[in-house]
Amino acid sequence: MTAYDQFQLHIAELSDILNAISILKWDARTQMPPGGAQTRGYQLATLSRLAQVHFISDKTARLLDAVEAEIAGEDEDSYRVRAVRQTRQYYEIIRRIPLDLVSAKAELEPVSEGVWAEAKANNDFASFAPFLQQQLELAKRQAEAVGYTEHPFDALVFEYEPSMTAAKLNRLFEQLKAGLLPLLKRIVANDRPLERDLWAQEYPIDKQKAFALDIAQRFGYDLNRGRLDIAPHPFEISFTRQDVRITTRYNRNYLPMALFGTLHETGHALYEQGVDPALTRTALTIDFLGKYPVGGTSYGAHESQSRLWENQIGRSREFWNVHFGRLCDYFPEQLADADADLMYRAVNRVRPSLIRVEADEVTYNLHIMLRVEIEMGLLDGSLKVNDLPEIWNAKMQEYLGMTPPNDSKGVLQDVHWSGGGFGSFPGYTVGNVMSAQFLQAARRDVTGLDDALARGDYAPLLGWLTDNIYRHGRAYSASELLQRATGRDLEVGPYLHYLETKFTDLYRLGN
């Protein structure tokens, strides 16, 4: 057996343990009766400990030394070299994090999340503040342990978006604001109510599911390697490319919730199902830090795909021109005097709102910037936990022209900080920006792409995305993927152009 084969076997076992953990998590979030929670907690803790022991072991160190000697001189871009290099990188990082910090975080998380849920229900930021302060202290310790050169935020965002830093994000946000804020102003000034409210009637759930799955399959989601279930907080999860599951939630009246939720998770799933089979059970489909994207290279890269399929395809005029008739087959009475144009406008309403998860394409990134700016300020000490409600409300007023009536609809709305998840928010905006760059490059490379999309033929787009993004798993960073596929690094131009064009037409903002 070569050193590489031995290394690979060791990593394959780690992959099996991690995927077993994921299956238990999927089950807990979709099927498990409430009574199972406590023993499920033990099972997850035991398997997580086994994974940790397996990875942070002398055996891993020996295998890495041997395989690094064996592959020396091989092509730097090859999957073999990338698999070894990434394993080494994460091995060193994880060893730098003290065990007492790991257990302190694990212990604080459920307590802090519980306190946050109560605080949110009771609109009581003061009761949550001490726990947020503790989470912040642990995050600072984590940043010091992992290491950074400029800003402590860099060490935390690395876990989700390795190509990003605080400085790069600040530049990105300034450019986005310069485009988004004036566009939003013009839209709000031109807002007129739609001639008919499509969401005042009932859309039976079984039909909602059938239509959403019909579209997901047209996009390329393979149900032989996937399934759709219900979850209160929808997500996608994969246990190798051979089993990639999605979830959604339903609202009887508000059809877009389940439909676009499903298309969003389908985008994540297409990424996972499109990974090169040769990467199955290798380091290039493992998330060593236990964060969210598994087969995908970063949070942002993953989110670029969910948003591309949900928004740039699913909320496009071409999409509704070709699929509205099909939707009417499912809901003939509800949509009797509607047409594709009305549906297109109804699923693209722009409206400043208080809640991030309900935000439209134009305002969404403003919600993200506000959060990331606050995280950076907390970590570098320029903002204090106790001042957060005031800071939050001031930024909401500045970006969206609204002030939350209470903290439950303001600073307390998201679960992320209670779990110590500092550094995860930028991925959403990075993903939005990337999605436009990828679609622009696909249009450049694939002749007749728009004609195919207008026919509802998604194979050419899926093929380009698979070749340029999906098949590589985690072999290349988000920045490398962008360079290889588009010839450019992350830039806001294509994304702002997409939004400008779409909403100028939708809201008739032309001169």
**Which residues of the shown chain bind Zn ion in the complex (CB under 5 A)?**
306
Output the smallest distance, CB 231 to Zn ion, in A: 13
Structure letter (DSSP) for residue 149: S
Nearer to Zn ion, 248 or 466 (CB): 248
Residue 265 annotated to the active site: yes
What are the residues whose beta carbons fall under 8 Å from the beta carbon of 185, sequence distance 6 or more? none
CA–CA separation, 80 and 82 (whole Å) = 5
Residue 226 in contact with residue 273, Cβ under 8 Å? Answer: yes
Picking from 444, 431, 399, 426, the residue whose alpha carbon sits closest to that of residue 495 is: 431
Name residue, tokens 């802090």. Answer: 112
Output the smallest distance, CB 261 to Zn ion, in A: 10
Output the smallest distance, CB 463 to Zn ion, in A: 22
Nearer to Zn ion, 112 or 238 (CB): 238
Angle, helices 426-445/478-486, rounded to nearest 10 degrees: 20
CA–CA separation, 494 and 443 (whole Å) = 12
Picking from 286, 275, 214, 291, the residue whose alpha carbon sits closest to that of residue 242 is: 275
Nearer to Zn ion, 67 or 308 (CB): 308
Residue 381, Ramachandran bin (φ over 0: left; ψ between -120 and 50: alpha; else beta): left
**Calculated CA dihedral for residues 374, 399, 291, 421, nearest 10 degrees:** 30
Output the smallest distance, CB 482 to Zn ion, in A: 19
CA–CA separation, 145 and 335 (whole Å) = 57
Picking from 325, 228, 234, 238, the residue whose alpha carbon sits closest to that of residue 281 is: 238
Nearer to Zn ion, 152 or 220 (CB): 220
Output the smallest distance, CB 102 to Zn ion, in A: 26
Picking from 78, 25, 32, the residue whose alpha carbon sits closest to that of residue 282 is: 78
Positions of E strands within 32-105? none
CA–CA separation, 71 and 50 (whole Å) = 28
Nearer to Zn ion, 297 or 306 (CB): 306
57, two tokens: 């072991």
Q: Kindly calculate the radius of gyration of the chain based on its CA atoms and give it in whole angstroms.
A: 23
Picking from 355, 350, 351, the residue whose alpha carbon sits closest to that of residue 370 is: 355
Structure letter (DSSP) for residue 163: T
116, two tokens: 């946050």
Output the smallest distance, CB 387 to Zn ion, in A: 31
Nearer to Zn ion, 152 or 234 (CB): 234
Output the smallest distance, CB 268 to Zn ion, in A: 6
Output the smallest distance, CB 427 to Zn ion, in A: 9
Amino acid at residue number 419: G
Catalytic residue among 159, 161, 236, 265: 265
Nearer to Zn ion, 165 or 305 (CB): 305
The strand pairing partners of 246, in sequence order, are 228, 236
Nearer to Zn ion, 306 or 334 (CB): 306
Output the smallest distance, CB 305 to Zn ion, in A: 9
Nearer to Zn ion, 226 or 460 (CB): 226
Residue 26 in contact with residue 14, Cβ under 8 Å? Answer: no
Residue 351 in contact with residue 360, Cβ under 8 Å? Answer: yes
Active site (catalytic) residues: 265
